[in-house]
Amino acid sequence: MTSTPKTAKTVLISGASIAGPALALWLHRYGFVPTVVERAPELRTGGYKVDIRGTAIEVCRRMGVLDEVRANSTDMRGGSYVDGTGRTIGELPADIFGGRVEEDDEIMRGELARILYDRTREDVEYVFGDSITALAEDADGVTVTFESGTVRRFDLVVGADGLHSNTRRLAFGPEERFKRHLGAYISIFTAPNHLGLDRWETYHALPGKLVCVYSSAGETDAKNLFVFSSPEELAPHHRDTAAQKRALTDAFAGDGWEIPRLLGHAAEAEDFYLDSMSLVEMDRWSTGRVVLLGDAAHCASPASGQGTGLALTGAYVLAGELARAGGDHTVAFARYEQHMRPGVERNQRMAEGFVKEMTVDRKWKIALRMFMVRTLPKTPWKNLIAKKIRDEIQACANAVPLADHTAPATNAAARPTVTA
Ligand SMILES: Cc1cc2nc3c(=O)[nH]c(=O)nc-3n(C[C@H](O)[C@H](O)[C@H](O)COP(=O)(O)OP(=O)(O)OC[C@H]3O[C@@H](n4cnc5c(N)ncnc54)[C@H](O)[C@@H]3O)c2cc1C
């Protein structure tokens, strides 16, 4: 079946990180007219490394960005665990450590956002420093009011605005209804690379806590990632940075290794991030002409390591279904959700397990893990264990099948004939 929208449908996308620009790229290719609004004053280029695996690799290939993604790879070599004195307990190569297969890749989130933005900026209208404040839907479209005071009409609205989605709040209700805290917090910030790491991650595990310092290709500084268990949600709001820094310092007070020095850097860090590891679970991802995409619809938490892949895949599927349905959103939104949901749920279940792994609470469990880390590389069954980890991660990375919504396209300027 080949179809194109009868009139070019206008689509407002809230959020310019991964899901938003990826959707804009596909919609433009199919002949829709996307506009992206981003609350930040400019493209947010910072961040942490994110995995591109399984289905997401093929989506990048079809977007025509895979070579650029690979050219910006973090190129990690492996990682080690250290004890409280900094002594290495054991080292593991990247394939065992990250459950990777050869074609998997890793890139800094900000780099991927920049690649997608650069591919779309000439064809797509981007509005930075603004945000939706009201959505009023009628039979023909949605009247959108922005913080800046602007009022505009769009045929469809897509919320690709992350875990704390503004679009979700406006169209579906308060965040508390859909967000489920998984019992842990994650923090990340940049600091000088004191440990002299070169494409290497160094871990230190404590009861209920995990610290990881890493430096990836082309980075002079190091990223410092802290995870700590907290059965209850903490009081600080996700945008109250001063309170969040205090929460991190309290959680790691009195701990050894490099932690006191790193907490000193946290206090100064301009890119400091702390948030609850949470899932977003919703009965449906669309209402009327509004639909959610990526973390806004189904955040699987950083523990899944698949949020970026799901955002890229979801953008491809949503745009493909809209094109296939000739712009009929009622058909397209239902098909998009039906296609994505089983794979999303599988990844969310994996994340629940990984959060527990990251915050092992007993000293003897940590000692057992360190024993494994020390002995595994020397055992004959190391490949079997590596395969078991890899198989589970790869199954999740491939959990959303890629329907052939479109013939592979490599030219971002190609116009919209859709084959489904
Ligand atoms: C510390 C950490 C580590 C992670 N590690 C991995 C990993 O290894 N692998 C992996 O696949 N994923 C990882 N993730 C998850 C991954 O970053 C997300 O799943 C992915 O970025 C989701 O993309 P998104 O575009 O849906 O949302 P986001 O990347 O959250 O982007 C949302 C965008 O919306 C904008 N926005 C917010 N509010 C508004 C508003 N009111 N109006 C307009 N714009 C707004 C934001 O500024 C942002 O640009 C990690 C996340 C964190 C926090």
* CATH code for position 302: 3.50.50.60
**Dihedral sign (CA 253, 257, 261, 263):** negative
Q: Which residues of the chain have pLDDT under 70?
A: 1-8, 94-102, 236-238, 404-420
Tell me the residue ranges of DSSP E strands in 283-393. Answer: 286-287, 290-292
β-partners of residue 201 are 79, 214
Q: In this structure, what token pair is assigned to residue 78?
A: 């492996």
Q: Is residue 28 part of a domain?
A: yes
Tell me how far apart the alpha carbons of residues 289 and 310 are, in angstroms, rounded to a whole number. Answer: 22
- Report how far ligand 1's centroid is from the alpha carbon of 162 (Å): 5
Query: Phi and psi for 19 in degrees, rounded to 5?
Result: -60, -45
Give the count of domains, the chain. 1
Q: Is 44 in the pocket of ligand 1 (CB under 6 A)?
A: yes
Please report how many Cα atoms fall inside a 13 Å half-sphere around the Cα of residue 216, on the Cβ side: 20
**Binding site membership of 396 for ligand 1 (Cβ less than 6 Å):** no
- Report pLDDT for 100: 63
Phi, psi of 312 (to 5 degrees): -65, -45
**Residue 5, in any domain of the structure:** no
Distance 404 CA to ligand 1 centre (A): 26
Q: Is 163 helix (H, G, I), strand (E, B) or coil?
A: coil
Q: Tokens for 95, please give them.
A: 């394939």
Question: Which atom of ligand 1 has the smallest separation from the CA of 294?
Answer: 26
Cβ(241)–Cβ(248) under 8 Å?
no
Q: How far is the CA of 371 from the centre of ligand 1 (A)?
A: 35
Backbone angles phi, psi at 92, to 5 degrees: -135, 140
If you count them, how many residues does the chain have?
420
Q: Could you list the residue range(s) of the whole structural domain that residue 319 is in? A: 10-364+389-406
Q: Is residue 201 a contact partner of residue 81, using CB atoms and an 8 Å limit?
A: no
Q: According to the model, what pLDDT value does residue 416 have?
A: 36
Residue 156 phi/psi, 5-degree rounding, is -140, 155
Q: Is 39 in the pocket of ligand 1 (CB under 6 A)?
A: yes
Taking the CA of residue 186 as reference, the ligand 1 atom at the shortest distance is 1
- For ligand 1, the distance from its centroid to the CA atom of residue 163, given in whole angstroms, is 7
Tokens of 167: 């679009």
- Residue 108 CB–ligand 1 contact under 6 Å: no
Residue 135 Cβ contacting ligand 1 at under 6 Å: no
Closest approach atom of ligand 1 to CA 275: 53
Does residue 348 lie in a domain region?
Answer: yes
Decide whether any atom of ligand 1 lies within 6 Å of the 159 Cβ: no
Residue 119, pLDDT score = 97
The Cβ of residue 362 has, within 10 Å, a number of other Cβ atoms equal to 10
